[in-house]
Amino acid sequence: MYKKYELDYKVFSKSKEVFVNTLQGNKQLTRSEIVTALQNNDIATDELRLTLLLMHAELDAIICNGAKVGKQFTYALLDERAPSYPTLTHEEALTKLADGYFKSRGPATIHDFATWAGITVTDANIGLQNVRHQLVNEAIDGKTYWMPYNVELIADKKATAYLLPAFDEFAIAYKNRDAIVNSKYLQQARRVIFDPAIVVDNQVVGTWKRTVKTTTVNVSLNLFGKLNIAQTKAVEQAINWYKKFMI
């Protein structure tokens, strides 16, 4: 394909120089602005050439996506967008990972941490032991849950509801979903990781879908069971918030 579009080492090298010179200084440019920069340096961008030039620069860790400008994507220099970080030892990395996990997702068990991080329980324990002095723990049904000191475990008196996106950490950050799905709904909730979830009073009670039109947003619900009046009102309020945000 490179040969078909007359792309070789010389062209790729020149294009990367243009990317660096154009984007340096924390600039983030749109695709059309990138095209202008390349064409000003006598680099053709017709057909698939632009896509291949951008892809090659991304694979070589020269550029990456920047912040969106309206509906347009931008490009930035990877070294400026994600500057290099000091290399950590294996134990330092596990410690940093454990610190971030339990302080943001606790209460959680060591097995939750291992599953979320994709590491062994042995490695998970190394990280946990190094940060346990910053955490508190609670034993429930034979399992030890770790969490930061400032976690409030008092249940809300008022019904609360949230419309969560698919793959939200509320569902995927733990080894299983026993704590967030009523046991009688486990079969219905088997796809809760993949589908947008309705959460009421800290429990997944169904899934939801949206239909976006020019001036309206429709939300359809698939509830696992019946909700009481207060919970129904909470869900309706969450839907209204979402619609206002989208429109």
Q: CA-CA distances (angstroms) from residue 197 to 26, 136, 138, 177, 210?
A: 37, 29, 27, 12, 12
User: Residue 176: its pLDDT value, please?
Assistant: 85
DSSP 2: T
Residue 149: CB atoms within 10 A of its CB come to 8
Which domains does the chain possess? 9-81 (1.10.10.10), 90-148 (1.10.10.10), 161-246 (no CATH)
User: Residue 108: its pLDDT value, please?
Assistant: 95
Closest CA to 176 of 159, 192, 155: 192
Cα dihedral 183→185→187→191 (10° resolution)? -110
Show the low-confidence residues of the chain (pLDDT under 50): none
Tell me, yes or no, if the pTM score tops 0.75.
no
User: Residue 154: its pLDDT value, please?
Assistant: 62
User: Residue 201: its pLDDT value, please?
Assistant: 92
Residue 45 identity: T
User: Residue 70: its pLDDT value, please?
Assistant: 87
Residues 121-164 have pLDDT tens digits of 999 999 999 999 999 999 998 999 999 988 776 666 678 999 99
Q: Look-up: residue for tokens 């941490």?
A: 113
What helix, strand, coil percent values describe the chain, rounded to 5?
A: 40, 20, 40
